[in-house]
Amino acid sequence: MTFMENMLIPERDGYFPLPTPKNHPELLEDPDRSSWLLTEEILGELKSGQFRRVEHLLEIYRRVESGTLRATIERLLGDAGTRSCFKQMSEELQADKKSAKDEMALYFYRDKAIHYCDAFQAWGLLDAVPVILDHYLTLRLAEIKEIEIFPSLLSFLLENDWGLLSDEPPDDSLEEYLGLVMDRYEELCAQFGSGNVLVYGGERSGVQSFARRLCNGVGREHRDAAKLRRRFEASTGIDCHDFYVKQAFQPLSAARIAENFLNSPQAAKYEEGRRYFFGYPIPD
């Protein structure tokens, strides 16, 4: 698949798609053609450790109409964005939340909140939990539909497998659900000393821990397969095509690649609790 067709989806070609030809039929018909090409160009820079234009991805996101391009950009920001990017995204969402007064504005806010909160979850900062929860609650109380992704985002940060936090609660249990999320958040803050720590599945995260998870299993129904392929591949720049065959997860292939990494000298350069993109530390 080309970059445009692939959208950085981990069940497809992840971070190793084919370049999009400038005469690609779908690209020629897309009004956001130049923005697709620019996003792909910035991805190439990021893969070589050049983060100078990473914030420009936010400008592209704001101006384009294409939902598929926006989804592609939020995946890239989640994996390669800087703390400055996430600060801007959080402030932007808060402004949209305050200004969303009618149904159309609320659904526009929902779509952006889903994208940005998915990026926050990929970032992995424990202190993103109250932010994600706040936007979920705002949308839930406004009776906005199709927001079931928010509990799963919280679960990936806070739970080692599908648990009490992963599903939307019924209306009469919403308050109890909010309490469970915040109790777990505060428990982890106390465990790690603050919320300024990277987590995945309720544990401190890092490239080596992602690899160990791939070796030890990816949860019921392969819960973590796509998330871990995305994090491991984006962090190391190791081609993980063999994780999937026709979008079906291959646990033995994934474990073999991860084990080879852990047994290599390369693994030692990755500090736990630090983010990387294609082997380069992300400047924060």
Angle at 97 between CA 180 and CA 231, to 5 degrees: 60
Phi, psi of 81 (to 5 degrees): -70, 150
Residues 218 and 256 in one domain: yes
Among the candidates 81, 109, 132, a domain finishes at 81
Pair 184, 232 in one domain:
no
Torsion of CA 89, 93, 95, 96, to 10 degrees: 130
Q: Which domain holds residue 31?
A: 1-81
In this structure, the answer to whether residues 114 and 68 fall within a common structural domain is no
Domain boundary among 81, 97, 126: 81
- Going residue by residue through the chain (284 aa), what tens digit of pLDDT does each one get? 999 999 999 999 999 999 999 999 999 999 999 999 999 999 999 999 999 999 999 999 999 999 999 999 999 999 999 999 999 999 999 999 999 999 999 999 999 999 999 999 999 999 999 999 999 999 999 999 999 999 999 999 999 998 999 999 999 999 999 999 999 999 999 999 999 999 999 999 999 999 999 998 776 778 899 999 999 999 999 999 999 999 999 999 999 999 999 999 999 999 999 999 999 999 98
* Of residues 180, 109, 191, 115, the one with CA closest to residue 153: 115
Residues 46 and 110 in one domain: no
The reply to whether 87 and 77 lie within a common domain is no
- How far, in Å, CA of 157 to CA of 125, rounded? 8
Q: Which residues of 20-40 are buried (b: 16+ CB within 10 A; e: fewer)?
A: beeebeebeebebbebbbbbb
Amino acid type, 247: Q
Shared-domain flag, residues 160 and 93:
yes
β-bridge partners, 203? 200
Together in a domain, 87 and 195: yes
- My answer on whether 210 and 269 are in the same domain is yes
Q: How many CB atoms lie within 10 A of CB 75?
A: 22
Q: What is the reported pLDDT for 223? A: 86
Judgement on whether residues 73 and 114 belong to the same structural domain of the protein: no
Reported pTM: 0.96
The total number of structural domains that make up the chain: 3
β-pairing, 244-245 vs 248-249, is antiparallel
Q: Do 160 and 98 share a structural domain?
A: yes
- The structure tokens listed for 27 are 């690209």
Same domain, 77 and 87: no
Among 37, 57, 81, the domain boundary falls at 81
- 213 and 185 part of one domain: no
Task: Note the pLDDT of residue 284.
Answer: 80
